[in-house]
Amino acid sequence: MPSILIAASESGSSGAAAITQLMLFALIGLAMYFLLIRPQRKRQREQMALQRSVEVGDEVMTTSGLYGFVNAFEGDIVWLEIDDDVQIRMSRAAIQRKVDTSAAPAVAPAPEVDGDVDKA
């Protein structure tokens, strides 16, 4: 008889263990959603909103690092002027960010280096 009691107690604890494991997997899935999927979707929505807000005349940077001014749109194609009389066609999805031209970055002058040059 003792073996029957041991078997019964083991089967009862395995059911609780299965529920615990199921809850653990659900918790891992929930954590993955909040830590990985949700922030990525937020970044995608922000990027799409930025790409829709670009207008003619804006200075933008593309995903490949090219800087240029938007000249025209043809559906999902953007005409960028990257130099005087040099225009390229790019996908609107290739625009990574707008360049803020109102605040020019301050460049510090390079310090002069005195060499071992004899001044005669």
pLDDT tens over the chain, length 120 residues: 455 544 444 555 678 888 999 999 999 999 999 999 999 999 999 999 999 999 999 999 999 999 999 999 999 999 999 999 999 999 999 999 999 877 655 555 666 666 555 555
Give the span between the Cα atoms of 20 and 111, in whole angstroms. 65
Indicate yes or no: pTM above 0.85.
Answer: no
What phi, psi does 56 have (nearest 5°)?
A: -60, 130
Q: Are strands 67-74 and 59-62 parallel, antiparallel or unpaired?
A: antiparallel
How many other β-carbons are positioned within 10 Å of the β-carbon of residue 117? 6
Give the span between the Cα atoms of 81 and 66, in whole angstroms. 10
What pLDDT score was predicted for residue 1? 47
Amino acid sitting at position 95: I
Q: Are strands 86-91 and 59-62 parallel, antiparallel or unpaired?
A: unpaired
State whether residue 8 is helix, strand or coil. Answer: helix
Q: For the chain, how many residues are written?
A: 120
pLDDT digits (tens, 9 = 90+) for 9-19: 455 567 888 89
At residue 74's C-alpha, the angle toward residues 73 and 78, to 5°, is 45
pLDDT digits (tens, 9 = 90+) for 68-83: 999 999 999 999 999 9
